Amino acid sequence: MTRVDMFERYPADPLRLAVMVMLAAASVIAMIGELGRVLPPHGLWDFGAFVASGRAAAEGLDPYGIYPLTPHVVLPGFESWNPNLNPPISALLFQLFDLAEPQASLRVWLWISVACYLATVVLLVRRYGQGIEGLLIAVWAFGLAGFWDTLFLGQIYLPLLLMAVGAWLLLERQELLWSGILIGLVVAMKPNFLVWPVLLFLSGHRRPALVSLAVAAAVSLIPAVVLGPGVYRQWLGLVASDGERAFFLTNASLSGLAARASIPAAGTALGAALLLGLAAWAFRRRPAVMAASSAALVASVLASPLGWIHYTLFLLPVLLHHWDRRAMWVVGGLLVVPVPFVIDQFAAGSGAQLTIGSVYGWAVLLCMVVVMLPGGDRSRRASLAT
C-alpha cells in the first residue's frame, strides 16, 4: 500500500490535526529549553564511559571497570557510577572515540547522531506523513525527550535507531534479508531487542528472524576472539550487579515502576510474565509481521531491567503505525516531557516519583496496551483491503 493510499484509507480528522498541532507546539517549547541544556559544554557524561571502556580494552584492562572518565551521578536519594553497560563488541567500537581528544570526539559524535536522527525522521515522515501532517510529525519527533537526553549524554542510540527504522520499513516491503541484517546489528549492540527476532520467529516470520539471530551471533563472537572470552564474564558481572539503577526516574521499564513502588522483585516477575505471554500470543495467533514487530519493540523497552527514556525513540514507528488510536496521542505527548522536569522529582516524595516521575514508564505501558488492542494493526487491515 502506498503512502497516499494509506492516508486515503485513514484520513486526518480535525481532532487529530488539532492534537498534532498541540503536540508540535509542546515540542517547540521543549526544544527551546533543551537547547540551553545540550549546546553549552557540560562534561562528557556517558560518552566519557564509552571512551574509558574503549581505552581500557585497548590497554588490556577491564572495559567494564570504573575509570577517571566514568560518570558519577549524585542526586537527592540517588547515587551511582555509570560505566559502559553495552555488550563487549562496544569495547572494540568505542576505541574509535579515543582517536581524538574526548571533547572533540564528542562534538563529532553529536553531529553524526543528529544526522542519523534527521534521516530517521525523514524516512518516517515519507512513510506516515504528508503535507502539514508530515511537518507536524517532524516537529513533534524533534521534541521527544529521548532525543535530547541522548545528545546531552553523548549516547549511541541514534545510529541504532536509524537501523531499526530501516528494518521496520524493509519488513513492511517484505525485504526479509536486509531487514534481518539490520535487526541483527541492533540486537548485537542492544540485547534487549532480542525480543524482536524471537517474536518474529514464533509468529512464523522465520527468515528475518534467523538472519538477525545469525548476524547478532556473528558480531558477538568478534570480541570473544579479539579480547578473549573473559570479557563476557566481566560484562555479565557488571549487568548482574547493576540492579540499583532500576529506580532511576528515566528508566521506563516495568522494573523501574516496580522499584519506585517499593516492590523491586515484582519488576522482574512482571517482565518475565509479559515476555512469556507475548511468546504464547505470537505462537498461537501468528500475527502479521508488523503486529509482531510492534509488540516486540514495546516489550523490548517495557520488559528490560533498564529501559531508559532513550529506548522510547525506538517506538517512533510503532506510534505512527498505530496513530489512528487516540490513546497513542497521549503516549506521544508524555514522551515529550523534558528529562530535567522528571529528574526534579527526585527531590519530591515517593508518590510524585511513582506518578509524575514515572511518566515515561506509564507512557510505554499505555503503548503496550494500545498495541495489543484487537483490531489495532493497520498492516493486517491493509493486507485485507488490497
Q: What is the DSSP string of 200-269?
A: HHHTT-HHHHHHHHHHHHHHHHHHHHHT-THHHHHHHHHHHT-GGGGGSTTB-SHHHHHHHTT-HHHHHH
pLDDT of residue 11: 53
pLDDT of residue 78: 83
pLDDT, tens digit, for every residue of 225-253?
A: 999 999 999 999 999 988 889 999 999 99
C-alpha cell at 151: 545528545
Does residue 133 sit in helix, strand or coil? helix
pTM recorded for the entire structure: 0.94
Span 139-185, pLDDT tens digits: 999 999 999 999 999 999 999 999 999 999 999 999 999 999 999 99
Nearest to 282 by CA among 384, 385, 209, 382: 209
Count: domains in the chain? 1
Q: What is the amino acid identity at position 289?
A: V
The answer, yes or no, to whether residue 337 has pLDDT greater than 80, is yes
Higher-pLDDT residue of 23, 130: 23
By residue range, what is the domain housing residue 338? 3-385
- Report which of residues 364 and 77 the model is more confident about: 364
Could you tell me the pLDDT band of residue 382, with boundaries at 50, 70 and 90? very low
Rounded Cα gap, residues 17 and 155, in angstroms = 33
Q: Is 173 exposed, middle or buried (0-12, 13-18, 19+ CB in 10 A)?
A: exposed
- Mean pLDDT over 12-16 rounds to 82
Q: How many helices (H) and strands (E) does the chain have?
A: 21, 2
In angstroms, the first-to-last Cα distance of the chain is 8
For 210, residues 6+ apart whose C-beta sits below 8 A from its C-beta are 180, 197, 201
CA-closest candidate to residue 152, choices 50, 27, 42: 42
Packed helices 289-302 and 157-172: angle between N→C axes, nearest 10 degrees: 160
Task: Measure the CA–CA gap between 362 and 335, rounded to whole angstroms.
Answer: 10
Measure the CA dihedral 303/307/312/313, to 10°: -120
pLDDT value at position 128?
Answer: 95
